[in-house]
Structure 1
């Protein structure tokens, strides 16, 4: 078995393997009871199990299985605010990169700005996904790349598989983080 070769696969491979090996319900319970500090309700666990089961049973669903497995690790939020479309310029967005603990942390996907402040262990300064903080790094998300050269908003060169990955990440963020604005040109 080859090791995962991208951050997306690394993020999602273990839960996917657990779900495949021991069953979706047990995998969800394992994730909930793993001491992650999460206070998930029975309803949230049930919804996660349904999401994983649906993705596992979908045809040609490698990306969907991975996306569903990622949902076990971070429960969808039940308290999201209505999306905002306040204009945020790239230079304004760059101020929310996790380097100032008094400011929120923002990640933009396809021009939509998400507040990921609740996950400083992932997006904060010096953390694994900080490469995406304070910018629209859609291309890098679609490519499953942590290379700074790929952390750019122009995703027009992505192939179909990469676009599917980008769309899955956008869907993942939509279920977990508030949309606080839209990136507008300077």
Structure 2
């Protein structure tokens, strides 16, 4: 499963925050149904077409824009709790690897572009055996930028990313900044 969004362009972040998905959510189309459709073997283009159909129906309603804005705000808003001020404590790669979700007594960390985020609040995503655990305990910048869940892509060197992938990586970094505490910086 190298790219859940298909072999075409588009990152997870873009899919999650796309206007058709936000509008579909606003008019009551279950996000779970959209996800189920995407895992049912339909191509990304088929799903985009379905989402556009929902968008067309939604935009015909004068109230749809307000609902879409509300849905967008609720999906992408920062957590209610205040985040702690960012720390820049040095964390070696070997120390970071100890925070991979395999020890329930330790926090779970994910690093992006050298900054270490505490994602312990989301063990259902980053915990041992979970879908995004591949990123836990390491700086997996390249994999995030590529929207890849391949182990060989979960590395810190993102110098080979193209412009689209760099945009995706930057969006993920921004997403994490708004949701997770920064607990340190990876040092060699």
TM-score after normalising by structure 2: 0.68
Per the TM alignment, residue 20 of structure 1 is displaced from its structure 2 partner at its CA by 3.2
Q: Which ranges in structure 2 are unaligned for 5 or more consecutive residues?
A: 32-65
Question: Could you tell me which of 92, 107, 111 is aligned with 2:110?
Answer: 107
Structure 1 gap ranges (5+)? 32-45, 54-70
SS in 1 for 2:110: strand
The answer as to whether partners of 2:13 and 2:171 remain within 8 angstroms in 1 is no
Q: Structure 1 runs of 4+ off > 6 angstroms?
A: none
Residues 16/9 of structure 1: CA separation in 2 closer, same or farther (3 Å cut): farther
Q: Is the 8 A contact 2:25 2:71 kept in 1?
A: no
Larger Rg: 2
Superposed, 1:6-85 pairs within 5 Å as 8-9=11-12, 12-13=15-16, 17-21=20-24, 23=26, 26=27, 49=69, 52=72, 72=75, 75-78=77-80, 79-85=82-88
Whether the aligned pair in 2 keeps the contact of 1:4 and 1:10 (CA below 8 Å) is no
RMSD: 3.2
**Count of matched residue positions in the alignment of Structure 1 and Structure 2:** 147
Q: 1:157 to 1:178 in 2, by over 3 A?
A: same
Give the Cα–Cα distance (whole angstroms) in 1 for the partners of residues 131 and 22 of structure 2. 24
1:125–1:181 distance in 2 versus 1, CA, 3 Å: same
